[in-house]
């Protein structure tokens, strides 16, 4: 099972790849920001694409686990919430 | 004698120290018990308050709806941005002239079901929508009162992590109370989400200072089919192409929206309109950087797909609240 810091680092790198917001800013300013709020502004297609990316990452380590689009779209999910959600898939 | 007195003093002092230590230990033990019980009481009190707060949260209908997987928005049509907008309802009545005006745009959906594989996801969810725009004079062409129930589907397939094509479709039953027209509406659109900058859906074109999104767009193309119910059923089908653009020149506060759909007639016995278009041009000013509160001006022109393709030309000024 990967460490929480390792999971956080991967998730932040994925968010950086999607949004072009650098990892330092993500960590210092936007951990409590909802994925659908500015500056992220994830919409339905981008949350689905992000979920498929995260699913690939999770299943590389835990093939029996998955993450659903409906979980990532759940109301009020913040960046920290997403990190916690991905980490919970490895337990 | 002197040594005896010294030995006695030492003995008394030791005894006294021993007694003091015993007393101290006793006091420590009592203090520890008091502190433990106080801390325990405090923790119990906090937990009780938390439980009470949780119970209070459960009592909130909106929280309960949200936790149960229900969403309420302006609408859930894949051919519009309504699912990003809050529901709205407005009623006005003048008791002297008896003039009244009602406008309602409410859609509710359940989170639905998802079938996912490693590289793809298929989502299906039920929804209901009510759109009403009516006044007591009922002479306006834009008057509408429609109730829609049906399902939305979404299918995403990740070709590579950078490119995710998708299909968004609906199967609806719509009842138009003004035109006394019941229809079955089916549609499916194809589009793509890309990570690289300037490609469809990309979220990477940003203001380097504020990290705000500057530009995003999606092209869609697809088929729409409308069929009336009843004995003399008529139908209309279109090949529809849509371009949706979002431009944020001042990402924190100012947003321009452009949404254009052109429908090419394939067959048209129901609405008898031929080729039609639907244009939305909007400008939004937000009061906060997270875009939760703002004011917007929307201009619509063309044949309104939510109102049986009635020719429409309108401008709306509205507050935008997203919580």
Query: Which residue of B203, B288, B293 is the best one to mutate when testing the A interface, meaning the one whose CB has the most A CBs within 10 A?
Result: B203
**In the prediction, which pLDDT does A26 show?**
95
The answer to whether B166 faces chain A, any CB pair under 8 Å, is: yes
Least confident of B35-39, B108-112, B259-263, B317-321: B35-39
Mean pLDDT of A46-53: 96
**Residues of chain B positioned with their CB less than 8 A from the CB of A40:** 203
Mean pLDDT (chain B) is: 81
Q: What is the pLDDT of residue B192?
A: 97
C-beta atoms surrounding B53 within 10 Å: 10
DSSP H or E stretch at residue B108: strand B100-110
The complex scores an ipTM of 0.95
A70 to B71: CB separation less than 8 angstroms, yes or no: no
Per residue in B206-231, pLDDT (tens digit) is 998 889 999 999 999 999 999 999 87
- Burial pattern B289-313, b for ≥16 Cβ within 10 A else e, equals bbbeebebebebbbbbbbbbbbebe
DSSP per residue, B118-177:
SSEEEEEEEEEEEEEEEETT---TT-EEEEEEEEEEEEEE-SBTTEEEEEEEEEEEEEET
- Nearest CA of chain A to the CA of B275: how many Å? 29
In this structure, are residues A81 and B236 in contact, taking their beta carbons and an 8 Å threshold? no
pLDDT on residue B56: 45
0.90 exceeded by pTM: no
Is the CB of B290 less than 8 angstroms away from the CB of A33? yes
Which DSSP letter does residue A4 get?
H
């Amino acid at each position: 099972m990967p460490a929480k810091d390792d999971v956080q680092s991967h998730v932040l790198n994925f968010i950086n790849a999607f949004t072009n917001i650098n990892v330092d800013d993500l960590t210092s300013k936007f951990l409590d920001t909802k994925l659908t709020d500015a500056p992220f502004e994830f919409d339905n297609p981008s949350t689905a694409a992000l979920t498929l990316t995260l699913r690939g990452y999770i299943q590389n380590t835990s093939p029996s686990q998955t993450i659903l689009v409906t979980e990532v779209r759940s109301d009020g999910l913040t960046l920290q919430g997403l990190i916690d959600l991905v980490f919970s898939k490895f337990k | 004698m002197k040594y005896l007195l010294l030995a006695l003093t030492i003995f008394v002092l030791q005894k006294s120290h021993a007694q003091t230590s015993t007393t101290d230990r006793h006091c420590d033990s009592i203090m520890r018990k008091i502190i433990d019980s106080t801390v325990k009481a405090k923790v119990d009190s906090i937990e009780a308050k938390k439980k009470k707060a949780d119970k209070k949260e459960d009592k909130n209908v909106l929280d309960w709806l949200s936790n149960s997987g229900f969403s309420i928005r302006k609408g859930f049509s894949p051919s519009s941005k309504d699912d990003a907008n809050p529901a709205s309802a407005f009623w006005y009545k003048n008791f002297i002239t008896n003039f009244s005006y009602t406008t309602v745009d409410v859609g509710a959906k359940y989170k639905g079901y998802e079938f996912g594989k490693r590289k793809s996801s298929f989502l299906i969810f039920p929804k209901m929508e009510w759109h009403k725009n009516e006044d007591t004079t009922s002479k306006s062409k834009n008057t509408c009162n429609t109730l829609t129930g049906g399902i939305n589907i979404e299918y995403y397939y990740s070709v590579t992590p950078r490119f995710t094509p998708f299909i968004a479709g609906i199967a609806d039953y719509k009842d138009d109370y003004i035109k006394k027209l019941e229809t079955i509406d089916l549609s499916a659109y194809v589009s793509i989400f890309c990570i690289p900058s300037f490609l469809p859906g990309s979220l990477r074109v940003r203001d380097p200072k504020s990290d705000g999104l500057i530009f995003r767009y999606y092209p869609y193309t697809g088929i729409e089919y409308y069929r009336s119910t009843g004995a003399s059923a008529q139908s209309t089908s279109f090949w529809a192409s849509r371009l949706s653009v979002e431009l944020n020149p001042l990402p924190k506060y100012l947003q321009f929206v452009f949404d254009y759909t052109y429908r090419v007639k394939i067959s048209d016995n129901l609405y008898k309109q031929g080729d039609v278009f639907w244009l939305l041009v909007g400008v939004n000013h937000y009061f906060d950087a997270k875009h939760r509160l703002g004011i917007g001006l929307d201009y619509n022109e063309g044949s309104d797909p939510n109102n049986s393709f009635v020719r429409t030309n309108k401008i709306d000024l509205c507050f935008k609240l997203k919580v």
